Structure 1
């Protein structure tokens, strides 16, 4: 069986800080990250979706964590075709527009290329420290299965090389009927890692929990099962506390996945209070 790493998708959430999960002595960002890194071997950074990181920030992350610790980085929204706040773009590359949000086609090609370059180069300190895991590319709900989107997956892999992108779909067409086999075959042929998700079903962004390794790296993200999944309040959306019984059902599935992949990463993304941290600790115990 390959290695399984379990962590969470945040260590700085306001409700986590208020929950009492951190000891009173962890009273600043440096101490909190150090404490987190003693509990878990990996963390997913979601803040980089909302705004690209500064190299100085990733340098501090590398310095404040022990050898062997791993950061997965969520790709900047513009690179996955999401609407992106103009104010989130590098100041000298912001398009002159009256729009509040923009898409890749709203930028000159040269600016778009430069955003890619700066985003990836800002991760250099983590690469140098051997602490960069995968880059999470989570696509929008309207991003369905089609040839041009498959081409973009290959393009992302080429742009990121030698870094490892992993891909999370939020459009069920990738797994409808015969498309499921087609999608998995395509990903395996191109050695592109699929992100398996556990999430509420029956919504526009819902995809089934397809547990399959399509490369030597497998990633599973637990979004919870909130009955307020469509809420604009992020804590209502992700505020779900997994029961031990639910996590116990997942343990053999994760072990089977680890039999297929060299390394399996598992992230609790139910980031409200200390739900993710407690659930991740329980899952580690069950595994």
Structure 2
């Protein structure tokens, strides 16, 4: 079956992309997302990991992108790293309020758990249940990226399947990971093969990754893939090549 594909980068407003690496020299920073959205159909918002965005910023995101453009929102570190998914009702409401204007273009939320946060199956289930009960988050897809190997187990996969949440496919030399489908879509993050954030995937490596994604074509209908090797603009060029490889394989 043909899969709908959203490919882009993790973040788009890196200052070192503004010297001609990706954005034309002289292009104002407030025009970067508009330019980006002409090259890609999705982006992973990483600024939301640090702090809630201002209303004017969210409005600019909405207006700078075409109707079919989509956003993945990275959940705040306060929820994932400090509170570790517990007692976060108020924090979820704060996040919901901050991105309310962007709701028509949001497709999913990424919850990245920190290194050292070991498996807590019941805690994960409780958080998934909270998301399901919180009105704003009910209509969105949710993705979990685990940084500790203890999470990669069948009981965790069962929780994700029960709540129709996605196990993030993480490709990195420094993070554990497994490619297990837990719902009807794939979410992949590519962090650089040889050096975390700072290495470019070769065409052969990208072809292998494309084949891994393609192997799931009978299990999922949508793929979200974001490149996070932002140093020297590697993410941009790898994302463009990856998209081309999947198009060649008639996945869209």
TM-score by length of 1: 0.78
Per-residue Cα deviation, 1:150-209 (whole angstroms, up to 9, x for no partner): 32342353232122221111110122xxx2x333233212211111100114xxxx212x
Secondary structure, counterpart of 1:197 in structure 2? strand
Cα deviation, 1:61-114, whole Å, max 9, x if unaligned, reads: 01111110011110111111x14xxxxxxxxxxxxxxxxxxx579xxx6xx543
Q: Give the secondary-structure state (helix, strand or coil) at the position aligned to 1:118.
A: helix
2:180 maps to 1:221: no
What's the counterpart of residue 76 of structure 2? Answer: 76
- Cα RMSD (Å): 2.1
- In structure 1, the partner of 2:23 is 22
2:8 aligned with 1:7 = yes
C-alpha displacement of 1:265: 0.2
Report the number of matched residues: 242
Q: State whether residues 4 and 258 of structure 1, in contact with CA within 8 Å, keep that contact through their aligned partners in structure 2.
A: no
Q: Which residue of 2 aligns with 1:86?
A: none
Q: Is the 8 A contact 1:6 1:265 kept in 2?
A: yes
Shift of 1:12: 0.8
Cα deviation, residue 212, structure 1: 2.7
8 Å CA contact 1:19, 1:273 repeated in 2: no
2:184–2:222 Cα contact (<8 Å) kept:
yes
- What displacement does 1:148 show? 3.0
Contact 2:3–2:220 (CA under 8 A) maintained in structure 1: yes
Structure 2: how far apart are the matches of 1:119 and 1:51?
Answer: 9
Structure 1 residues 61, 218: CA separation in 2 closer, same or farther (over 3 Å shift)?
A: same
Provide the TM-score with structure 2 as the length reference: 0.88
Mapped contact 2:170–2:190 kept (Cα < 8 A): yes
* Counterpart for residue 118 of structure 1: 94
- Moved segments of 4+, more than 6 Å: none
In structure 2, the partner of 1:232 is none
Classify the secondary structure of the residue corresponding to 1:257: coil
Deviation at 1:37, TM superposition (A): 0.3
CA shift, 1:217, in A, is 2.5
Contact 1:196–1:220 at 8 Å: present in 2 too? yes
Shift of the 211–104 alpha-carbon distance from structure 1 to 2, 3 Å rule, reads closer
Counterparts of 1:117 and 1:3, CA distance in 2: 30
Tell me the CA shift for residue 263 of structure 1: 1.1
Q: Are 1:200 and 2:173 an aligned pair?
A: yes
Q: Distance between the aligned counterparts of 2:209 and 2:54, measured in 1?
A: 36
Deviation at 1:28, TM superposition (A): 1.4
Look up the match of 2:31: 31
Q: State the 1:15 CA deviation.
A: 1.8
| Rounded Cα–Cα distance in structure 2 between residues aligned with 1:134 and 1:214 | 15
Q: 2:145 aligns with which of 165, 168, 184?
A: 168
**Any idea what the Cα deviations from partners look like across 1:3-57, whole Å, max 9, x if unmatched?**
12110012111222235321236x1133211111010000001111011112321
Rg larger in structure: 1
2:230 matched to which residue of 1?
271
| Gaps in structure 2 of 5+ consecutive residues | 247-252
